Chains A and B, each alone.
Chain A
Amino acid sequence: MKHLLGIENLNKDQIMNILETAVSFAEINQRQIKKVPTLKGKTIINFFAEPSTRTRTSFEVAEKRLSADTYNIAVSGSAIQKGETLADTALNLQAMGPDAMVIRHSVSGTPQLLTEIMDCSIINAGDGFHEHPTQALLDAYTIWQRKGGFEGLKVALLGDIYHSRVARSNIYLLNKMGAHVSISGPGTMLPKEVEKMGVTVEKLPKYAVQDADIVMMLRVQNERASNLLYPDVREYSRYFMLTPELLKLAKKDALVMHPGPANRGVEIDDVVMDGEQSVILEQVSNGVNVRMAVLYLLLGGADK
């Protein structure tokens, strides 16, 4: 495997291999000195053409713990803002001989475009509404650690499915691993024919959450034209927020997950977010383990 562009083209074995590899990095991340020389001498560029705190930092932490040399580029301050095309920027970066580029971009398919221009490994850190593979992998890792497997689990995925790359990557992954996904969100946030992706579509969250093992919330993306997606926050939270009452419909030991950044009081109630069932911060910790595993498998000379 040279690139990680999405979950769609991974098989079950490849996914399990990444999760199992992440276990050994989890151990490293528990140590006093959290650094190994695995990627010493490797150069990784983090190219974030869209704002990101969590994912960018998580990748950078993972890269540094593997001893790679890392460089961060944001679009503000890059040549793209001065009118250079992405293709030219990519060619110039390629000329500096990186081993990998981690890319976040608002346009679906841009990581794929870069694989056609650059020679290095391309890791998709989120493209448009398309895929966010490392998020799905860290979610899977969290579920796997907590539940011991995926087969037969019921996962409720709630909120803005339409604009969510997290949703798409998770749907692919959970289906491949034998879990069942039920989704719910306002009609404006459900993409067309999404049921063909192998999910059950429920009108209201209460039906999707019923007996769920996992309740996975998605962020309401306020930066989108939200007045065309829902009337206001009051109404959104009234029908689609994960409240303690709603969570009671799920299994007693159901996990609450959120890829962040969360809007407290909009899609998730404070009490739930900070409650015992929430594994939201654990997801963030696991993100480092999983990203180290991905980088190692793509760059660490794990020859296959």
Chain B
Amino acid sequence: MKLVVKNGTVVNPLVGKTEKTSIVIENGVVTEITKNPDTKDAEVFDADGLFVAPGFIDIHVHFRDPGFEYKEDIISGLEAAAAGGFTSVCTMPNTKPAADNVETIRYMYERASKGNGVKLYPIAAATKGLKGESLAPIGELAEGGAIAISDDGRPIQNTDLLKRVMEYASTFDMMYVSHSEDLYLSETAQMNEGYYSTVYGMTGCPVVGEASQIARDCMMAEYLKLPIHIAHVSAALSVDIIKFFKERGAKITAETAPHYITLTDEALGGFDTNTKINPPLRSEADRLAVIKALKEGIIDAIATDHAPHHQREKEVEFNNAPSGIVGLETALPLVLKLYHDKELTIEKIVELFTAGYKIMGIKGGKIEVGAPADITVFDPDYQWTVDKNMFKSKSHNTPFHGFHVKGAVTATIANGKIIYSRDF
């Protein structure tokens, strides 16, 4: 089985090269990178005019399996990932049961092995039942293959417990992923607090709720000399705090999601529950600060926080709707807007979509001879209209339905196999 991805512009930031060349793949592994490939007996994928990048990784998705398979299951989630150009994903532990036990971790790997070849790396719960009361069996979870720990969505409010979680997890080289939110401030909140919450008549949660918890968690990481990853950064103040601690030498990485660089809290004006997200869409100043942070490397990665919810759960009164939107299948074009706007180079964008390798310690992140062929091919200029009914995800909860976007995934290759290609 031989595949040649021919004449694409290979963007390989970790190798430090962007060049027009071809990639020869045999038995799932890159065997040659050459301008003159031997295409005899090979399947040829013509990538002329397209970008060829290391397979994207999304370090923050919710696949709802086990427990909420009507929203998404691992198989459909992996299909959605492939359609978005992702060859690896890290799943959050808020399943039912929560991923606080090794059986659930094993179940996830087992299910993923029946999927399309996109690699799944479970993030396990930091505390039992995500309750923020006692330590999860982090050693056993690590042994079972969990890649990191997090109480995503129900962050640890008890600072003493946070310290113990990070200390204990360090024994097993497990990093804590911080969903930073002061649950007192956000208890009744529906959106960001500011002018638009005033106008729309909704309870808001101020930026302070996110930024104060980021500050606490960064302080703890610095104090313990342990790494920490900050999930879904949405606000200017959060960026400043992360910058402050990074400059002091703390081992901090951070991600943001495509919606925070695309929309603001003004978008809640139609009371569309698909604009209800946690952390909430922020102000225009916050949006611009997050873009700047991507440019300056203060935020290291793009992650989607893919959060599928069934239509009937979203078609309710605003306050009764769950937070979150699907993101895998719209991420690339939303971020490519920054390329077209000349805010980010294509190398930077590829770096943001592959930084998960560095952050989570997963192997890969570059196209090189001898490495597994996980490759994303995309057309930066293809224009299309987002149609939620075309999603591979089981859920369609997106605020981007009907958006005209520029840039599309052409093909996704996992272990040398084309697992997704777009019908243009």
Q: Is the CB of A86 within 8 A of B201?
A: no
Interchain CB contact (< 8 A) of A86 among B206, B270, B317: B317
A110 to B202, CA, bound (A): 12
Chain A, 217-276, CB within 8 A of any chain B CB:
none
Interchain CB contact (< 8 A) of B202 among A129, A193, A197: A129
* B270 nearest CB neighbor, chain A only: A112
Q: Is the CB of B202 within 8 A of A113?
A: no
User: At the interface with chain A, which of B75-83, B120-128, B191-199?
Assistant: B191-199
Q: Is B320 an interface residue (CB 8 A)?
A: yes
Interchain CB contact (< 8 A) of A113 among B198, B200, B204, B271: B271
Q: Is A107 an interface residue (CB 8 A)?
A: yes
Interchain CB contact (< 8 A) of B318 among A8, A109, A165: A109
Q: Which residues of A contact B202 (CB under 8 A)?
A: 108-109, 128-130
* A127 nearest CB neighbor, chain B only: B201
Q: Which residues of B contact A191 (CB under 8 A)?
A: 197-198
Q: Is the CB of B195 within 8 A of A108?
A: no
Q: Is B319 an interface residue (CB 8 A)?
A: yes
Q: How far is the CB of B398 from chain A (nearest CB, A)?
A: 16
Q: Is A85 an interface residue (CB 8 A)?
A: yes
Q: Which residues of A contact B271 (CB under 8 A)?
A: 108-110, 112-113
Q: Is A79 an interface residue (CB 8 A)?
A: no
Knowing A85-B312, A192-B193, A192-B204, say if A110 contacts B317 (CB, 8 Å): yes
Q: Is the CB of A128 within 8 A of B198?
A: no
Interchain CB contact (< 8 A) of B200 among A87, A109, A110, A193: A109
Q: Mark B193-217, 1 if CB is under 8 A from A, else 0.
A: 1110111111110100000000000
* B311 nearest CB neighbor, chain A only: A87
Q: Which residues of A contact B200 (CB under 8 A)?
A: 108-109, 130
Interchain CB contact (< 8 A) of B201 among A85, A108, A193: A108
Q: How far is the CB of B305 from chain A (nearest CB, A)?
A: 23
Q: Is the CB of A192 within 8 A of B317?
A: no
Q: Is the CB of A113 within 8 A of B199?
A: no
Knowing A108-B200, A109-B200, say if A85 contacts B315 (CB, 8 Å): yes
A194 to B194, CA, bound (A): 9
For this complex, into which size category does the number of interface residues on chain B fall? 20 to 34
Q: Mark A66-91, 1 if CB is under 8 A from B, else 0.
A: 00000000000000000001110000
A165 to B319, CA, bound (A): 16
Most A CB contacts (10 A, CB to CB) among B202, B317, B319 go to: B317
Knowing A86-B317, A107-B320, A109-B271, say if A197 contacts B198 (CB, 8 Å): yes
Q: Is the CB of A86 within 8 A of B316?
A: yes
Q: How far is the CB of A10 from chain B (nearest CB, A)?
A: 15
Q: Which residues of B contact A108 (CB under 8 A)?
A: 190, 200-202, 271, 318-319
Q: Which residues of B contact A193 (CB under 8 A)?
A: 194-195, 198
A192 to B193, CA, bound (A): 7
* B195 nearest CB neighbor, chain A only: A193
Chain A, 49-75, CB within 8 A of any chain B CB:
none
Q: Is the CB of A113 within 8 A of B317?
A: yes
Most B CB contacts (10 A, CB to CB) among A109, A127, A129, A196 go to: A109
A196 to B195, CA, bound (A): 7
Q: How far is the CB of B76 from chain A (nearest CB, A)?
A: 24
Q: Is A131 an interface residue (CB 8 A)?
A: yes
Q: Is the CB of B195 within 8 A of A192?
A: yes
Q: Is A291 an interface residue (CB 8 A)?
A: no
Q: How far is the CB of A223 from chain B (nearest CB, A)?
A: 14
A86 to B320, CA, bound (A): 11
Q: Is the CB of B201 within 8 A of A130?
A: yes
Interchain CB contact (< 8 A) of B317 among A8, A107, A168: A107
Q: Is the CB of A87 within 8 A of B316?
A: yes
Q: Which residues of A contact B204 (CB under 8 A)?
A: 192
Interchain CB contact (< 8 A) of A194 among B198, B206, B312, B317: B198
Q: Which residues of B contact A129 (CB under 8 A)?
A: 201-203
Q: Is A104 an interface residue (CB 8 A)?
A: no
Q: Mark B171-206, 1 if CB is under 8 A from A, else 0.
A: 000000000000000000010011101111111101
Q: Is A180 an interface residue (CB 8 A)?
A: no
Q: Is A154 an interface residue (CB 8 A)?
A: no
Interchain CB contact (< 8 A) of A110 among B193, B198, B203, B318: B318
Q: Which residues of A contact B203 (CB under 8 A)?
A: 129
Q: Is A105 an interface residue (CB 8 A)?
A: yes
Q: Mark A173-192, 1 if CB is under 8 A from B, else 0.
A: 00000000000000000011
A105 to B316, CA, bound (A): 12
Q: How far is the CB of B90 from chain A (nearest CB, A)?
A: 33
A197 to B198, CA, bound (A): 9
Q: Is the CB of B201 within 8 A of A128?
A: yes
A131 to B320, CA, bound (A): 19
* A225 nearest CB neighbor, chain B only: B188
Q: Which residues of A contact B312 (CB under 8 A)?
A: 85, 87
Q: Which residues of A contact B206 (CB under 8 A)?
A: 192
Knowing A107-B317, A108-B318, say if A192 contacts B201 (CB, 8 Å): no
Q: Which residues of B contact A110 (CB under 8 A)?
A: 271, 317-318
Q: Which residues of A contact B199 (CB under 8 A)?
A: 8, 168, 197
Can you add 7 more A-B contacts, CB < 8 Å, to A87-B312, A112-B270? A109-B200, A109-B202, A110-B318, A113-B315, A113-B316, A128-B201, A192-B193
Would you list the 5 A-B pairs with minimal beta carbon distance, nearest first?
Answer: A109-B271, A130-B201, A129-B201, A191-B198, A107-B317
What residues of chain B have their CB less than 8 Å away from a CB belonging to chain A?
190, 193-195, 197-204, 206, 270-271, 312, 315-320
For this complex, 10 residue pairs linking A to B, each with C-beta atoms less than 8 Å apart, are A85-B312, A107-B317, A107-B320, A108-B200, A108-B201, A108-B318, A109-B271, A112-B270, A113-B271, A165-B201
